[in-house]
């Protein structure tokens, strides 16, 4: 354990509080804590949970108090742990199988004085542990809430948060919020999405750049500029009503410098600290490289992501416990369907493996996808749970983001090159490495996200090539994810502004917008983006309808969800593949060249022979494919067959 301080443990005081004359004081008569307790986390808990409950209590001088729990049978204190700071206590709570849901009281006593703090232990929802999660049957729609839709202008700026809204600032808050997402769930569902991933919604109280949410200031509260905990839970409920799952974006690697505990850390090693600012070396290979030095590995794990994001020390068991139960709390409280974990390899890998195991112990079918940003296929495979790693390490992380495929799309689709290894052969080559991965069904595929250039920019605003990318997302192995607006080829407002420029507002999401792309009439009347060549409105409408057709079709296409893949090599910037099982097949032919190409159907005889009842997925018309079938330049043919 890296530099963990000696932890002082005291035996818990369990029982009643004695008055001076030896009588037992009624807990109901005790004064409530008031300002003597600043925070208690987790905010509440449930009966029937497997995850051990360790309550963190913050209050001035609270470590000098004894603690017990009153309010009913089956709930008691197991142990109390003191921290380095006298202003914290960590209280282990035992909840037996016969515990009764209700309000309990944490009773703090010192020198004959006692006070109490209410703590809710609720009844767990029926079937909670057996909840299902996102899978290959889903299409994930990624939203940056601040830039998607402003449903409640009254919370754009609040008195208790530092940064105020200014829609004209690339790196400022624009006002999008949870209510805005709720208002447009029908649009998301109609597109064919079955899951929503929002970038972090928890409080980020940094003085600038707080809109993205990745510098958390409070792990248990939604940022008031987005809404409230209750509204977030309402969002999840309403999404479920629309057939949409909800994936929460979480960050265990770092918090923000504005986090409340930065003024008074529980332990000196609660975060990684250096004599001077030390950033991570971003060298993920140190985790699996047999030749790596401990020095380099330590910098990779312990260095800060950026100066505004202190690096958490998951080797401290109290930090790890904090994040284990925090994850479980949000799943149970909000009814979540999955997690996306930011900057996954920056965390200490062994504690994060324990973290994943803890979440899956509570929810065996829960899916967690980690952002493991590497173009190295073997290094990416290392991070997926169950992979046969030579060093014996098992991350227990169910799913990984397929950055190598994203890179292949970026390099292969925008070019007309027929050179060796260029064009669509890059996609073929990338998928030819699928033998390296442990579980292809647990891979998120995507053409871009909030941290990359927009795919519309990468494709230089070419709508035909955007259709190629959308078709691949709808038909390839894995779990597809698209970034909001990619269905209409949104482009950056100003690429020179980096992330701030690509995270454009969704027109119509703000009161007073002249154009509303969420509406049927509005999406054919305006352009989005001002960087170079904005996308013509007609193209946007056509792209939207193309994406909608494919993703709505994909919802019920089991062969796409669970089928195998067979693909065929070419040297002419075309690419062909089949998704198939025992009864169905889907054929995809991509002509990414400048000229018309004929489908070499006879080359595919080993799988194409016997296919029948063909139907063009995009047009809905009956389709037969042969060597004479022609596909126009930069066009895609998608045909479903029976076998």
Active site residues: 342, 371
- Closest to 303 (Cα-Cα) out of 320, 323, 282, 285: 282
- The burial class, CB within 10 Å (0-12 / 13-18 / 19+), for 389 is middle
Cα–Cα distance list, 368 to 203, 249, 331, 337, 360 (Å): 22, 10, 12, 9, 9
Spatial distance between the Cα atoms of 596 and 352, rounded to a whole number of angstroms: 51
Spatial distance between the Cα atoms of 375 and 429, rounded to a whole number of angstroms: 13
Element (H, E) at 294: helix 294-302
Spatial distance between the Cα atoms of 395 and 398, rounded to a whole number of angstroms: 8
Spatial distance between the Cα atoms of 56 and 386, rounded to a whole number of angstroms: 33
Evaluate the CA torsion angle 311, 314, 319, 325 in order and state its sign: positive
Spatial distance between the Cα atoms of 338 and 352, rounded to a whole number of angstroms: 16
- Closest to 550 (Cα-Cα) out of 421, 425, 638: 638
Task: Give the N- to C-terminal CA distance of the chain in Å, as an integer.
Answer: 57
Element (H, E) at 640: strand 635-642
> Is the backbone of residue 498 left (phi > 0), alpha (psi -120 to 50) or beta?
left
DSSP state of 200: P
Q: What is the secondary structure of 569-593 as a DSSP string?
A: --SSSEEEEEEE-SSEEEEEEEE-S
- Closest to 196 (Cα-Cα) out of 206, 186, 205: 186
CA 65 to chain centre: 39
| 281 within 8 A of 296, measured Cβ to Cβ | yes
DSSP state of 494: -
Evaluate the CA torsion angle 577, 580, 586, 587 in order and state its sign: positive
Spatial distance between the Cα atoms of 393 and 390, rounded to a whole number of angstroms: 8
Tell me if the bond preceding 176 is cis, omega within 30° of 0: no
Residue 634 main-chain phi, psi, to 5 deg? 55, 45
> Cβ neighbours of residue 274 under 8 Å, at least 6 residues apart?
none
* Residue length of the chain: 643
Cα–Cα distance list, 360 to 351, 363, 370, 397 (Å): 14, 5, 14, 9
> Cβ neighbours of residue 2 under 8 Å, at least 6 residues apart?
269, 302, 313, 315
> Cβ neighbours of residue 408 under 8 Å, at least 6 residues apart?
426, 427, 429, 430
Neighbouring-strand partners of residue 578: 566, 587
């Amino acid at each position: 354990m890296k530099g963990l301080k000696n932890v002082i443990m005291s035996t818990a005081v369990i029982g009643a509080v004695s008055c001076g004359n030896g009588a037992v004081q009624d807990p109901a008569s005790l004064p409530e804590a008031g300002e003597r307790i600043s925070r208690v986390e987790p905010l509440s808990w449930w009966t029937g949970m497997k995850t051990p409950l360790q309550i963190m209590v913050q209050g001035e001088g609270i470590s000098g108090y004894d603690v017990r729990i009153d309010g009913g049978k089956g709930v008691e204190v197991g142990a109390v742990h003191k921290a380095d700071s006298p202003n914290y206590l960590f209280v282990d709570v035992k909840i037996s199988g016969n515990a009764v849901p209700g309000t309990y009281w944490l009773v703090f006593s010192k020198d004959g004085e006692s006070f109490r703090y209410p703590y809710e232990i609720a009844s767990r929802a029926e079937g909670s542990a057996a909840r299902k999660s996102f899978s290959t049957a889903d299409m994930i729609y990624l939203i940056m809430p601040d830039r998607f839709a402003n449903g409640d202008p009254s919370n754009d700026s609040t008195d208790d948060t530092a940064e105020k809204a200014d829609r004209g600032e690339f790196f400022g808050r624009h006002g999008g919020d949870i209510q805005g997402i709720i208002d447009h769930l029908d649009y998301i569902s109609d597109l064919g999405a079955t899951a929503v991933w929002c970038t972090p919604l928890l409080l980020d109280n940094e003085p600038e750049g707080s809109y993205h949410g990745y510098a958390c200031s409070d792990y248990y509260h939604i940022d008031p500029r987005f809404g409230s905990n209750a509204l977030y839970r309402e969002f999840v409920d309403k999404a479920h009503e629309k057939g949409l799952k909800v994936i929460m974006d979480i960050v265990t690697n770092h918090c923000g410098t504005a986090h409340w505990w930065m003024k008074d850390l529980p332990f000196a090693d609660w975060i990684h600290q250096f004599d001077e600012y030390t950033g991570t070396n971003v060298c993920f290979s140190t985790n699996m490289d047999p030749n790596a030095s401990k020095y380099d590995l330590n910098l990779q794990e312990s260095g800060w992501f950026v100066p505004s994001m202190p690096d958490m020390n998951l080797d401290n068991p109290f930090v790890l416990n904090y994040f284990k139960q925090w994850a479980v709390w949000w799943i149970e409280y909000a009814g979540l369907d999955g997690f996306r974990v930011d900057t996954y390899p920056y965390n200490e890998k062994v504690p994060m493996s324990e973290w994943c195991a803890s979440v899956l112990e509570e929810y065996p079918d829960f899916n967690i996808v980690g952002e493991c940003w590497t173009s190295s296929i073997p290094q990416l495979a290392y991070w997926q749970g169950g992979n046969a790693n030579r060093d014996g390490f098992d991350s227990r992380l169910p799913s990984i983001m397929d950055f190598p495929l994203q890179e292949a799309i970026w390099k292969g689709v925008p070019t007309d090159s027929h050179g060796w290894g260029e064009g669509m052969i890059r996609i073929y080559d990338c998928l030819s490495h699928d033998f390296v991965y442990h579980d292809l069904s647990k891979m998120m595929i995507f053409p871009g996200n909030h941290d990359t250039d927009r795919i519309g920019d990468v494709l230089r605003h070419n709508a035909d090539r955007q259709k190629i990318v959308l078709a691949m997302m709808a038909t390839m192995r894995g779990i597809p994810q698209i970034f909001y607006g990619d269905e209409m080829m949104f482009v950056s407002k100003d690429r020179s502004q980096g992330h701030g420029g690509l995270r454009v507002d969704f027109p119509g999401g703000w009161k007073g917008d002249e154009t509303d792309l969420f509406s049927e009439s509005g999406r054919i009347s305006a352009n989005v983006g001002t960087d170079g060549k904005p996308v013509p409105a007609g193209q946007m409408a056509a792209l939207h309808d193309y994406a909608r057709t494919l993703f709505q079709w994909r919802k019920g296409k089991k062969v796409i969800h669970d089928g195998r893949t067979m693909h065929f090599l070419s040297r002419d910037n075309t690419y062909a593949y089949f998704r198939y099982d025992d009864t169905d097949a889907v054929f995809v032919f991509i002509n990414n060249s400048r000229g018309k190409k004929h489908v070499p159907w006879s080359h595919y005889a080993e799988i194409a022979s016997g296919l029948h009842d063909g139907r063009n997925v995009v047009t809905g018309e009956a389709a037969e494919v042969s060597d004479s079938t022609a596909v126009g330049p930069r066009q895609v043919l998608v045909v479903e067959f029976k076998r």
